[in-house]
A and B are shown apart, each in its own frame.
Chain A
Amino acid sequence: MLRKSIAAAALAAFVIGVVSGAAADDKPLEPWERKENHVKPPKDSPLDYLVSGYWFRTPKTRALQDDDFENPAFLWVETAEIEWTKVDGKAGKACASCHQTAEKSMKGVSARYPVYSARDKKLIAVQHQVNHCRKNYMKAKTWKWESDKMLGMAAYIGLQSRGMPVNVSIDGPARPFFEAGKAFYHERRGQFDLACKHCHQANFGQYIRADFLSQGHSNGFPTYRLKWQKLGSLHRRFRGCNNNIRAIPYKRGSPEYTNLELYLAWRGLGLKVETPSVRQ
């Protein structure tokens, strides 16, 4: 009986939807609904269109991102810019010793990360590569994932791809990692028994309490999140989501989260890199 009433309610909602759709001309579309802000999704995408998290935020938050002098993330970026040429470690090298100017050498790098590393025989994020360089080439101490230095460096490297479309590879050796990330996205977890898809695929553009749900793209990370009052990594955001639904989070930089990072990047394939973005 309940099944029938649910079906009836769904039908009623559909009819109302059609009617209100016809009358929708009266109401201006929200920024995230506007066609000019949409990007064509990749082949086999479950989404009809892609729209950056930027367009789900308030005009005030967007304005902060639009102006590099106002964007607080640039405090970290500027420190990283100095770090880039600073010699550190026993090998007497700086990033610039091998990579010269970041503007040239790092252009487009973050747009194609995470990548499969034949050297490590696994999927790696930008942060993994930074620490690989520090440990093996600079003979310097590695940085913690969520340290100010690592966040700043990841944002500084990301900035060199700003405006370029997200362009990760999911073929060849990256494929199994992509599939694992995809499985993670669709798997229910925690006492709330939710998967990523429940909020970010089925319900973007809707409120859950005070949270306005976006499509959950990764093109702005590391991001300056107003709630955090600092720059933060994508993996920190994953941990927050997992904690909220009462699920055991994984470690930052873990294979699980790196796989998910690849799957998310593919879901946002073609969106422009916005690092360092500002979010709510």
Chain B
Amino acid sequence: MKVGRRVLATLFAAAIAAAPFAAQQAVGQGKAPVVKYKIVDEDSIPESLTGKPGDPEKGKKWAIAGRLGHCIACHVMPVDQPYMGEVGPSLVGVASRYEAGQLRMLIVNPKVINEDTMMPAFYKADGFHRVRKAFVGTTMLSAQQVEDIVAYLMTLKEEEKD
């Protein structure tokens, strides 16, 4: 595992080189007012935040991109990326364990489910302490980006074994 990390260091450098592109796309993405959503059963947001379906291809991009979802910072995912984090649970086969509404809730604000979690709320614009000026009143992801990531995660089904 260690050796693999080192071998993949060059790939990581390539990922850094791609980061400005992601950053450019991030600008302004989360500045729209937060849309209202309804929590069901204390752990689910069954309805789409935008009323539109998510795009799983885009969702995969946001899940990898630094400064956006950057899910791989903390979660292992079934993607070809070096340096995937391990402080969160693996997202391999996550669609077999959660419903879309539950994943949406976890991305929007996981503290609703576990107030001690270290996972950030990706669709919350206020109630934080000492946020840097550039990020005041913004959400880490736009509503549509949340939907794209939910759509992508829902493609991650556990392979059925014989």
Contacts and interface: CB of A to CB of B under 8 A. Distances in A.
A246 B132 CA distance: 5
Nearest to A209: B73
A208 B85 contact: yes
A5 B118 contact: no
A95 B70 CA distance: 50
B63 interface: no
B32 interface: no
A6 B129 contact: no
Given A191-B135, A208-B74, A209-B73, A2 B43 contact: yes
A240 interface: no
10 contacts: A1-B41, A2-B113, A3-B42, A3-B43, A191-B120, A191-B135, A193-B128, A209-B72, A210-B12, A248-B133
- Most-contacted residue by chain B among A2, A206, A210, A243 (CB, 10 A): A2
Interface residues of A, number: 28
Contacts of B132: 190-191, 243, 246-248
A248 B130 contact: yes
Interface residues of B, number: 37
Given A2-B102, A203-B87, A190 B130 contact: yes
Contacts of B140: 191
Interface string A177-219: 0000000000111111110001100110011111001000000
B89 A209 contact: no
A190 B87 contact: no
B86 interface: yes
B120 to A, nearest CB: 5
Nearest to A193: B120
Interface string B29-57: 00000000000011110000000000000
A18 interface: no
Q: Please classify the interface of chain B as helix (H, G, I), strand (E, B), loop, or mixed, using the class held by over half of its residues.
A: loop
A24 interface: no
Interface in B88-137: 89, 97-98, 102, 105, 111, 113-114, 118, 120-121, 128-135
A190 B131 contact: yes
A5 B120 contact: no
A96 interface: no
Given A3-B43, A189-B128, A191-B132, 11 more contacts: A188-B128, A190-B129, A190-B131, A193-B121, A193-B129, A194-B118, A199-B87, A206-B87, A207-B86, A209-B73, A247-B131
A202 B138 CA distance: 28
A75 interface: no
- Most-contacted residue by chain A among B12, B82, B87, B89 (CB, 10 A): B87
A199 B118 CA distance: 8
Contacts of B44: 2
A192 B128 CA distance: 9
B113 A198 contact: no
A197 to B, nearest CB: 9
Nearest to B89: A9
A210 B66 CA distance: 12
A246 B121 CA distance: 13
Contact of B73 (A5, A208, A243, A246): A208
A6 B102 CA distance: 12
Given A193-B120, A198-B118, A210-B12, A247 B129 contact: yes
B17 to A, nearest CB: 14
A213 B84 CA distance: 13
Given A2-B43, A208-B74, A247 B87 contact: no
A248 B130 CA distance: 5
A191 B130 CA distance: 8
Nearest to A13: B89
A56 B86 CA distance: 16
Given A206-B86, A208-B73, A210-B83, A192 B120 contact: yes
A203 B117 CA distance: 12
A210 B2 CA distance: 12
B133 A191 contact: no
A2 B118 contact: no
